[in-house]
Amino acid sequence: RAMCSGRLQTALLVAGYFVYLLVGAAVFQALERTAEKQEKMAAAQMKEAFLQNFTQLTVAEMEQFMKNLIEAIQNGVYPVGNESQFEESNWDFSNSFFFAGTVVSTIGYGTLHPKTAGGQIFCVFFALFGIPLNIVFLHRVGKMLSLLCKKLGKFLYEKGMRKKKIKFLTLLFFLATGILVFLCLPSVFFQITEGWSYSEGIYFAFITLSTIGFGDYVVGKQSDRKYFSYYRVLVAIWILFGLAWIALLFNL
């Protein structure tokens, strides 16, 4: 009965956690998408005006254009290509879910951030409740994985192995498995999808799962590449379970 109750609590926690992320993603999308569209239209107009008059611009006007261009890029608007690219949103559901995941996990790449007052205020409260929820979620998933450690240890003990050796082999097994599943294999995936080198994929995976999050490498941000739907959602889920693996290693 206790085991069933524990499983039910875990299932409810996991479901509640992902519902929290889904709701957060929907709210961020609703609050930020319109403002982003206006910003992209302004960037397109700025580019058009520059192309028409660039031979007549003064030094001061040229410097102002460069400042506006840098500000647009910092806000995730890249005024390159034709107008169809401006229809693609940084705040579609996949990107919004990815952003919500990076907020509660405290990675914070910085390449995508709310710019409206409503989005910024919501982000404060979303993180205020989401970060503790994320800690509880990681603790519970880590606890489930630690039960696998105990079962593995019990199996080895029944085979006549000493406890110290069992602890070492258990740690080695979960370390090697985690490195393979959360670092090595995803890096191959990033190499294919993003066009990075394998070492860049390893670097991105480690910087992400360690929650350092420099923001120099971020998935799904290259305008010249086509990404499949919900690509960033899958990456966000990889991040969450990768963080649970890191938490398990600390416990071990």
The model's pLDDT over 93-126, given as tens digits with 9 standing for 90+, comes to: 999 999 999 999 999 888 888 989 999 999 999 9
Is residue 135 in some structural domain? yes
Using one digit for the tens of pLDDT, what is the confidence trace for 48-60? 888 888 777 788 8
CA distance 252 to 167: 9
Is residue 245 in some structural domain? yes
pLDDT of residue 181: 93
Using one digit for the tens of pLDDT, what is the confidence trace for 29-74? 999 998 888 888 888 888 888 888 877 778 888 888 888 888 877 7
Domain of residue 94: give its range.
88-251
Is residue 31 in some structural domain? yes
pLDDT of residue 59: 84
pLDDT of residue 2: 60
173 shares a domain with 125? yes
Is residue 67 in some structural domain? no
Is residue 224 in some structural domain? yes
CA distance 139 to 94: 26
228 shares a domain with 122? yes
pLDDT of residue 22: 96
As a whole-number percent, the residues of the chain with pLDDT over 70 amount to: 96
Is residue 187 in some structural domain? yes
pLDDT of residue 191: 94
Is residue 247 in some structural domain? yes
Structural domain count of the chain = 2
Which CATH number covers residue 202? 1.10.287.70
| 130 pLDDT higher than 60 | yes
Two structure tokens written together for 8: 């039910």
Is residue 77 in some structural domain? no
Other CB atoms within 10 Å distance of the CB of residue 141: 21
